[in-house]
Amino acid sequence: MTLAVQQLRFAYPRGGEELFSGLSHDFATGALTAITGPSGRGKSTLLYMLGLLLTPTEGHVLLDGTPVSAASDRVRAELRARRIGFVFQDSELDPTRKVIDSVLEPALYAGWSRAERLADARDLLTAFGLGNRAEHRPGQVSGGQAQRLAVCRALLNRPSVMLADEPTGNLDHGNATLVLDALVEAAHARGSTVVIATHDPFVLSRVDEVIDL
């Protein structure tokens, strides 16, 4: 099992109720899992915890069977760079750089040189129909294109885990479909464990498994 949580509990340091009440779950490898539930139940919080940015108050996040949520900051940062891909609600591309540089960013953090991964990055863009956008700035592409670029960035290091927080939240149906297609491909064709926090019924209709918080 690539990704799992065990007896997870979390409470934000400053006040707030306890979340997840001892959730245990094995996320199916090569499949899409949606996390859904009413607002404020901790969908985003769970994603950040799976992304090793928050440490559970109790319980563990396991990667390949190893508890990693309490590892040192350096180890967690390296795992994020090499093993985990992030897609935010807003694409979060660096507005000052060409989109090709944004897509290459996680590769640099994982210890690659730009030149070593440039061809891969271009291939990804082409595969997602964005080949002619490489030299644009984020301000020069549409919201849907930006979000697909963000998916490319998350895919570049061939992560075993992809985390997406409301990835279709700001998109119309057509663009939402394209982004979701990309995530489905990441799971089914590339074998990533994809976890999506969402309350979009359209997304829920296309995932393999749903966790209702």
Partner 1 sequence: MRIRALLREAWAATWAAKVSSVLIAVVVAGMCVAAIATVGRSAAASADVAARMEQAGARRLQVIDAKAEGFINARTLGVISNLSSVESADALGIPFDATNGATGTGGSRIPVWPVLGSITQIGTLTRGRLPQPGEALISATQLATLGLEQPVGFLVTTDGTASYPIVGAYTARAPFEDLAGGAIVARPDGTGRELRVVLNSVNATDGTVAAVMNTLAPRDSQGVQVDSPAALAQTARDLADQLAGYGSSLLSLILGAGGSLVAAVVLADVLVRRRDLGRRRTLGITRADLTAIVIVRAATTAVIGALLGCTAGWLANHAIGQDTPLSFTVAVGVLATIAAALAALPPAVYATRLDPVTVMRTP
Ligand X SMILES: Nc1ncnc2c1ncn2[C@@H]1O[C@H](COP(=O)(O)OP(=O)(O)OP(=O)(O)O)[C@@H](O)[C@H]1O
Residues that bind ligand X (CB under 6 A): 12, 14, 16, 39-45
136 binds partner 1 (CB under 8 A): no
Sorted by sequence, the CB contacts under 8 Å of residue 71 that are 6+ apart come out as 52, 79
Instruction: Select 86 or 128, whichever has its Cβ closest to partner 1.
Output: 86
Residues 147 and 87 sit within 8 Å (Cβ to Cβ): yes
120 binds partner 1 (CB under 8 A): no
Instruction: Select 43 or 60, whichever has its Cβ closest to ligand X.
Output: 43
Block residue for tokens 């982004």: 179
Q: Name the binder of 108 from ligand X, partner 1, Mg ion, none, CB < 5-8 A by kind.
A: partner 1
For the segment 22-61, give every residue that binds Mg ion (CB under 5 A).
43-44
**Beta carbon of residue 8, minimum distance to partner 1 (angstroms, whole number):** 16
**What is the 3 state secondary structure string of 88-152?**
CCCCCCCCCCCHHHHHHHHHHHCCCCHHHHHHHHHHHHHHCCCHHHCCCCHHHCCHHHHHHHHHH
Instruction: Select 47 or 79, whichever has its Cβ closest to ligand X.
Output: 47
